[in-house]
Each structure stands twice: as C-alpha cells, then as structure tokens.
Amino acid sequence: MALSKALYLIHLFFIHFLPQYEYILYETNDRGKNGQIEVVMKRDSLGYHIIYKSDRTIEVILDTINLQTLYVNKIVGKKWELSVKRNHFFEVNYRGRKNYYNESNPVYDRHTLDFVLRGFDYNKNFKKRIRLNVPEFMIINADLEVIGEENITTPAGSFDCWKIKMTPRVVFTNMKFYFYIEKQYPFRFVKYTDSSGKNSIFLKEYSGQ
C-alpha cells in the first residue's frame, strides 16, 4: 500500500527523471543583448546539482522526486546576490534581506524553471498552479498551461515540443512567459520567449547520459 501511494504521488506531480549528467549551452537574447549560458548538471542521491555560468554563477540543488528547490547560491560578477535554502522553512536571503516562508508544498525558484518544467507529465489539457519563488519580491502563485505543440529548430537540432504558458498570479505584471519542452526523453528545455517579444533563449548544444 505504501509503495502504491508513493507511485501515485510521483505520477501526480512528476514522472520524468532526468539524465545522470548533462552539459547544456543556451543562446540568449536579453533586450537585444546576445549572450550564452553554460549549464552542467549531475544527479546523485542528494539531488540534481546544477551550475549555471554566464556573467553570473548560480549553484543549485533540486530534489530528485519533485524538482523543488533545495538550495541556490547566486554570484553576479564577483558579488554575492542570493541564497536560498529549504529546511524547516523556505529561507530566502536576497542582497541581505531575509525572508522565511512556511511552505508545505514544493516551491520552485525562478532561476530553475529550465529544469523544473522538464519534469511534468504534459498532455493537451495540462493545467497546474505552482508556487514560484521570485527572490526580488516574494513567493507567488503561477499558472502553467499547455497551449499547443510545435516543432522547434535550433542549432542543436529539431524538436517536437509542448508549448507551455506561465502566468504569474500577481497584480504588478501582466507578462506571459512561454517555454518549449521536448515531448520525448530527455525532455529538453528547447526555447523560451515572453510576451514582451524582447527576450529569448534557445538550446544551442546538448550532451547527456
């Protein structure tokens, strides 16, 4: 009975386990400024360990079952900016401003969405509300919805993807965010755009095992 319940809970939230190791290179356009993000991920018994490198370095640990955020440390240039820890509370320290949240459900930091959104079991009718940590503000609700299927071609190849719209449930923005997630294993994060039309991310290189 306990095993059946555990399997049900995994299916309810995530059924996708990601590879043991990945190297990913993204091409970015941030309001006309081109750049790259280099990502290395390794999975062990403690979680998914991820390092992002661009003009900043972000170290992340995600839970292996539900991909919730367990740890974040962000350095911009040589200056520390953010730390997040999940213990009894969800602890956020943004530029010295500390907040402690009593959250019983998974919380996902905004810096980790490229991995988090790879874990859900999508279908044409998929809708889900998540708790999203936006360190500059607070933990908010955000709605996810599959709004279509597209074939996306990037320098890394062509991918059949789910198109997912994310809508933050806040009054201070009406922005919509669009993520394209590969339909088949390893469920790669292939493309990102938003409703401003000024920001984008594309998968440029990938290797995994």
Give tens-digit pLDDT for 145-201.
999 999 999 999 999 999 999 999 988 788 999 999 999 999 999 999 999 999 999
Least Cα distance to 108 among 122, 92, 123 occurs for: 92
How much is the pTM?
0.90
Within 8 A by CB and 6+ apart from 116, the residues are 62, 67, 108, 130
Tell me the per-residue pLDDT of 91-123, one tens digit each, with 9 for 90 and over.
Answer: 999 999 999 999 999 999 999 999 999 999 999
160 neighbors 182 (Cβ within 8 angstroms) = yes
SS3 call for 137:
coil
23 neighbors 205 (Cβ within 8 angstroms) = yes
Domains in the chain, ordered, with CATH?
17-208 (2.50.20)
Structure tokens given for 13: 């939230």
What is the gyration radius of the CA atoms in the chain, in angstroms? 17
